[in-house]
Structure 1
Amino acid sequence: MTKPTTDDHPHVAVLAFPFGTHAAPLLSITHHLAALSPSTHFSFFGTPSSNSFILSSNTNLPPNVKPYDVWDGTPDGYAYTGDVQEEMGLFISAAHESFRKGVDRAVEESGRRVSCLMSDAFFWFGKEMAEEIGGGVMWVPFWTAGPHALSSHLYTDFIRESFAGDVTQREDELLSSIPGMSRVRVCDLPEGVVFGRLDSLFSQMLHKMGQALPKADAVFINSFEELDPTFTNDLKSKLKCCLNIGPFNLISPPAQVPDTYGCIPWLDKQQLASVAYVSFGSATIPLPHELVALAEALEDRKVPFIWSLKDNAKVHLPDGFLETTKFQGIVIPWAPQAKVLGHKAVGVFITHCGWNSLLETIVGGVPVICRPFYGDQRLNARMIGDVWKIGVIVNGGVLAKEAMIDCFDKILLQEDGKQMRGRIKSLKDLALAATAYKGSSSDNMRELSRLVSSPCK
């Protein structure tokens, strides 16, 4: 059991999910909350590898934030096969016990009893752990993706009952009975709802999460209420307290990163809204024939481009492409994405539709060509293409030359693109208003700070 203390100052235990792009935004939010409440102590828990990675770019933590390493679940002498699901499974199986031991250590070192558990939403056991600690400890989880993806997990049992049987025969049916999803198809749902291995550890984690989140004292999301009021209102009816605090890159802008490859000076020489920016995130890459199709479409239409592509993937580009397009575009292993999307020369973003990228393109005011891969990306793409109408989804979900040419023409040259830019500018204006001092997200961030910084009941 966690050792009680006589110190009534708040102590927030922050439990990070150490895979993908989960831990870094939670650390950033912790940093922001620590600045808002200097008297509150924050203990941040992650695996050694995750902490080492995210702390390397967050060296100036406030004095009231202390990171701790917890066990990643790997038994001594264990040999990994290279499957990330295997690594994730070992961590999840040990997470509850690992975090409890970490919290006990932080309590002993700080002399403060824990008053709040702030965790990644994936940790469905957060409520149980808070009750184990006792003393009125709150559980406040963070959902890193969008409100529509969160809704799909809250409605998982309802969806499974509604589409029982061979779901592949009904994958094009609309989820019109769920608020906000009248344009969403069954096949757009993330794996673990009705598709994929529903008995896998990851699918079970998501299912348990959807059942547990209504018990949380509050859930906070990196989104803004005005993005989709239907989802906002429905989530507020399903959760005790739902706080949209984003786009977080506007609430608390990240540290400036160097433009190592000279993207911005290159963009300064291009025409207004003429450049295609291509990036599929850090974890995904299209198949080789898709890279060829995209390269050929760019070259055929002579679209200026910045392509963020890892060096080991360049071998899949067409022979001679880099040489023949050296005055048309640049292929680099990394780009300062937020800066690039905020530049007036960028006219279209070709993306996997990760949530952070979607928010960055809204803030940048840039229409989207969607090539989703997994998770919430298909759902994000459907919202982009058919609900908010700020972009297009590639036909068949695969990059093909003629289809890409049509997308470039539509967004960069035709009236459709002009209308998309108008709609995305409206969303950008709403995001800016939400994160202004009197805006909804700023108010919600202050409420989040008040909640997590409250002393034990």
Structure 2
Amino acid sequence: MQQPPTSHGYDGHVAVMAFPFGTHAAPMLAVTRRLATYCPTTIFSFFNTSESNISVFSTADEHKLVAPNVKAYELADGVPEGYAFTGKPQERIELFMKAAPRSFREAMEAAVSDAGGKAVSCLVTDAFFWFAAEMAEEMGVAWLPFWTAGVCSLSAHFYTDYIRDRLGSVRDDAVGHEEEPISCIPGMSKIKVGDLPEGVVFGDTQSFFSCMLQKMGLALPKAAAVLINTFQELDPTITSDLNSKFKKFLTIGPVHSMSPSPAAADTYTCIPWLHKQKLASVAYVGFGSVTTPPPHELVALAEALEASNVPFIWSIRDSAKGNLPGGFLERTHGSQGILVPWAPQTSVLAHVAVGVFITHGGWNSLVESVAGGVPMICRPFFGDQRLNGRMVQDVWQVGLKLGPGAFTKDGIIESLDQILYQEKGKILRHNVRALKQLSDIAIGPNGSSTINFMALSEFVSPNP
């Protein structure tokens, strides 16, 4: 990585605070890289854990995409020496977050020293870091939180207290309340209680993670601007509502299109295999870097793919292959499909042979599918994925959300048939391609995301 920039020739110093779990850090680095290019006289100190930095900087460093005014700093992961993990959900996140305020302050002191005493002039942080509002106020600088997902989930967290007041806290996984619409929130009339992230009105509303998100929702109006990885034309009603609640609300996405990284190496020859397939005929299966369906659902998915005879690329960890039906690999690999431990997802989804994306419905995957013009079959697991699945099916109408929320052989076969062969699929493809056009316009020279990015650059640099 680069040597730390000195203060000579620089007129600003931005502290960038990344959340090192899931897929948060990569879009934050992408935004930082682009800002550094737009604002060459500003220093950007990027704070993240060592493990996450290695992951997100590897490709960027290899292709010399990181500007000389960007310097990575390592944060402690918050795990005490000799600590014995208890298996508690989100334990690593809780340990990191409890240590984060002190870790960030210490890291910023080091960055200021490295920069020849150039004081931090702006905080760009993951929106999860609600405490950054107080830090920025103490420092007398602007706070710019970045929400890496969509406006629907952000709205749910912003309105958490209001939703609780209207609906009350619902226990036992919202039994009996799942189908109640969230009609009290602008733009969310087709969202149901059962679609909300855990901790809003059901599940453990007092968990560390739930409280963290509630505090975030309360802190965001203090921000100089709230940044988000979407384009305003995707959800105009919710975007307009949140724009009225924050000082500034800047849609600067899709980030993977606004600040693209070079195409990842196609180590397992997915693209040459796709070249041999028919137009819009292939099912691409991928569940991100965190999620793996339970064994019985992997069996159902494999059986459905084989029975439907749909050609497929399945990105699946080697450790999960042992859960597949006996003989499945031998009967299908190469002839009907390929199973790979990793796929260059954006390149795969951009290929004309791909006709459907079977996904968990994570936000990054969703916007990559829209950018590729590919309809989705969503099997949500946690967090914002149920909300995203509902938007995919009932609001944008660019795919299907599996019910009752799990893979079944018959459900997958029926969904594949609808999207790949029936009139329903033609409608979904038309709708997703229309969204793709809006996305392309948004990131164009005069598009909404480009204009908002320029507004962001004015916050972080006195002379953008």
Q: CA 1:257/1:165 → structure 2, altered by over 3 Å: closer, same or farther?
A: closer
Alignment check: 8 A CA contact 1:140 1:219 kept: yes
Q: Contact 1:163–1:170 at 8 Å: present in 2 too?
A: no
Deviates more, 1:71-80 or 1:248-257: 71-80
Determine the C-alpha separation between the residues in 1 that align with 2:228 and 2:400.
25
Give the aligned partner of residue 141 of structure 1: 145
Distance change in 2, residues 1:283/1:166 (3 Å) = closer
SS for the counterpart of 2:60 is coil
Of the candidates 66, 69, 73, which is equivalent to residue 64 of structure 1? 69
Deviation at 1:82, TM superposition (A): 5.1
Find the aligned partners of 2:197 and 2:395 in 1 and give their Cα distance.
Answer: 17
| d(CA) in 2 for partners of 1:241, 1:71 | 32
Following superposition of structure 1 onto structure 2, how do residues 307-456 of structure 1 map, counting pairs within 5 Å? 307-326=314-333, 327-454=335-462
CA positional deviation for 1:320: 0.7
Structure 1 letter corresponding to 2:131: F
Q: Counterpart of 2:131?
A: 125
Aligned-pair Cα RMSD in Å: 1.5
Report deviation, 1:84: 6.0
1:217-232 pair list within 5 angstroms: 217-232=224-239
1:176-217 Cα deviation digits (max 9, x unpaired): 111111100001001121122111111111000000001100
Q: Which residue of 1 aligns with 2:122?
A: 116
Runs of 4+ in structure 1 off by over 4 angstroms are 5-8
What residue number does 1:10 align with? 12
* Cα offset, 1:6, TM superposition: 11
Give the counterpart letter for 1:317 in structure 2: L
The superposition leaves residues 409-432 of structure 1 with CA deviations (integer Å, 9 ceiling, x where unpaired) of 100010000000000000000000
Q: Provide structure 1 residue ranges, at least 5 long, that are not aligned to the other structure.
A: none
State the partner residue of 2:273. Answer: 266
Residues 6 and 112 in structure 1, CA contact (< 8 A), matched pair in contact too: no
Deviation at 1:81, TM superposition (A): 3.7
Contact 1:45 1:69 in 2 (8 A): yes
TM-score, length basis structure 1: 0.96
Distance 1:6 1:211 in 2: 39
Which amino acid in structure 2 is aligned with residue 17 of structure 1? F
The aligned residue for residue 153 of structure 1 is: 157
Which residue is equivalent to 2:167?
A: 163
Taking the aligned partners of 1:175 and 1:381, their CA distance within structure 2 comes to: 15
Q: Which runs of 5+ in 2 are unaligned?
A: 1-6
- Alpha-carbon shift at residue 329 of structure 1 (Å): 0.5
> In 2 relative to 1, CA 415–215 (structure 1 residues): closer, same or farther, beyond 3 Å?
same
- The answer on whether the counterparts of 1:7 and 1:112 sit within 8 Å (CA) in structure 2 is no
Letter of the 2:307 counterpart? D
SS state of the match for residue 90, structure 2?
Answer: helix
Residue 97, structure 1, aligned to residue 105, structure 2? no
Contact 2:285–2:358, Cα closer than 8 Å, also in 1 = yes
Q: Structure 2 counterpart of 1:58, which letter?
A: A
Q: Deviations over 1:305-349 (max 9, x none)?
A: 000011111111111111111301001111111111111111110
Within 1, Cα distance between the matches of 2:354 and 2:280? Answer: 5
| Count of aligned pairs between the two proteins | 449
Match of residue 4 from structure 2: none
In the alignment, does 2:79 pair up with 1:74?
A: yes
Aligned to 1:302: 309
Identity %: 57
- SS, match of residue 227 in structure 1: coil
In structure 2, the residue matched to 1:172 is 179
- Contact kept, 8 Å, 2:17 with 2:124, in 1: the verdict is yes
C-alpha displacement of 1:94: 1.2
Task: For residue 99 of structure 1, give the secondary structure of its aligned residue in structure 2.
Answer: helix
* Inter-partner Cα distance in structure 1 for 2:89 and 2:269: 34
Alpha carbons of structure 1 residues 77 and 166: separation in structure 2 relative to 1, 3 Å: closer
Conserved? CA contact 1:296–1:401, under 8 Å: yes
Asked whether 1:205 is paired with 2:209, we answer no
> CA contact under 8 A between 2:60 and 2:261: conserved in structure 1?
no
Hey, what's the Cα distance between the residues in 2 that align with 1:298 and 1:23?
A: 33
Distance 1:417 1:425 in 2: 12
- Measure, in 2, the Cα distance between the counterparts of 1:23 and 1:160: 30
TM, length-normalised to structure 2: 0.94
Deviations 1:96-115 (A, max 9, x none): 11111111121122121111
In the TM superposition, what is the alpha-carbon distance from 1:8 to its structure 2 partner?
A: 7.8
